[in-house]
Chain A
């Protein structure tokens, strides 16, 4: 166990937007809530997953609804608390710790705000290691952890308990309740034992986010290239460097789907990169080869500042470096690929790990140089 304060939270927010792979919602509101909670109640206890007892009750916290509502109707801070207290009543057991459901975007910061407020430890891990758009796209689901019982609460004091036959029904009912309650609620969801957390969570993602933030800041301070520094930290790859020349977007069933075309600069001059996204970046390819595909992580960093650019923030003229990061092994299993691989999102490719794709690119380059 270690304590984390404001500086760590600032760094975690930078890491969260990088692991958000272009989506996940702006972590700003979550960061500000966590900072205020720390100011009022002191630092947060961060628990390594291995420190959990097998029968401890661990409950992730996640917001549901429109991020645009949350930036206007900011939570009171009570919502999450009510969800947790009500779920304890249902389960007849005390919650030992909370945990982010995803490492990307706003949802990785919200559990920290709750944790500081009520002195509850946060488990250093999550259910995605990145951001994904759907409730079942969590490693908890891959390990058959039940989505419900779950409790959702609004800022007015309303709360409801859901017991559903599966995650799809939980998503359906919770989403329509969210609308009635004013467009943004806090969920206590996927309650699990310490044993289940150890088996199904992705380990130490908060620490990783903190390191990402710190690495970018320190590299800039020491006048080093922050993108190189982040890549060596994450074991990632520089896939393409260029400038955004075209964006196509359309709204489709709650997703913003689209393609960004990036015109190569420097070593990539003369080539184009096409970035396919649905809220998050899911596929990067050139005219001749695929560079990286979901569930591996694809993020665009501002070439100058190394700060992540979201799919919303992509616009003509932006100078970006596309990076690819291997996903956790849990996503590279047969079930993981079924749930969040390229075919699930409608891209007709067999999943190939980014490191394999890089080898192929390198071989092709050598062949063309040899010729």
Chain B
């Protein structure tokens, strides 16, 4: 009797649940995969802050739909990232999967999202296979392809008359892309290259690599160390006395995540250091002003480029949702809307290539103290105008 009662109750509540879900369709579900734990969690925290700011500025709505944001932590591991993506598409049945800091996590997770027929939006990672052979019509990036930023740096090195270079980068997909990128455009000699252990137990002491770089006789040093490894590298570079002897050129290493800590500890050596980037807090576009001032007001510090990209992801999704008047079954129309890149971006106007990667400008930035004495980066000059990644030609999409 009791058993039957429970079964009936369960069935009834299940039925209710289903109908409730049906009437709840007036929302857009966005899954966001990032890193919130491990020391790399500081990056995810910045991205989370940016998307929450975006949701707040949108008034919690995209068109007539409520925004339902589900944020997942990949723990800096490809396998966990894939599990979380599976969970987002199967259990939560989200409409968009966005986020992804790490190239290896995105490579492991892409199939889960794309095979389920979802839109996949990278808010940071841009590994070469996804731009080339593995390109997909439902993939869009609000960042860049990994090679592009270091390619711009190679160009800067040529312009500065640097004849030889030493490269140090982490041993994973993006580290190899970054190194390949600078080698693609740099015309001088590569004196040597070190790839270091990366991941949850990443190498953080670079004594051996710095000694090799110094002994190599190279004129300049190029590095790529995102997150906390960047700050550690710059400190050790300074402690090894390489300032002025072996000028340092970086990509994705010195940003508003590393700078406050370096400033607090008084590492003045980083002032004046130069890097290439698609964006800077002082980039003069209306959306960027709204973003940077809003972010600083809400959180009390400068946003990082990770935050800028995550913020853009939300506005890209919004443009798709609004183009179909909230009817999320119209995949083709939503895709066309995103492809036109017709949304207010922090980087200003840009277009999408056939592979869903932005065709955009790249700038040379420099670390300076702002009017309040806070260390930040500012644009020195434009290196590339409307630059497309070199893998787009391997992509079969029209």
Partners in one complex: no
B interface residue numbers (CB < 8 A to A)? none
A residues sitting closer than 8 Å to B (CB atoms) are none
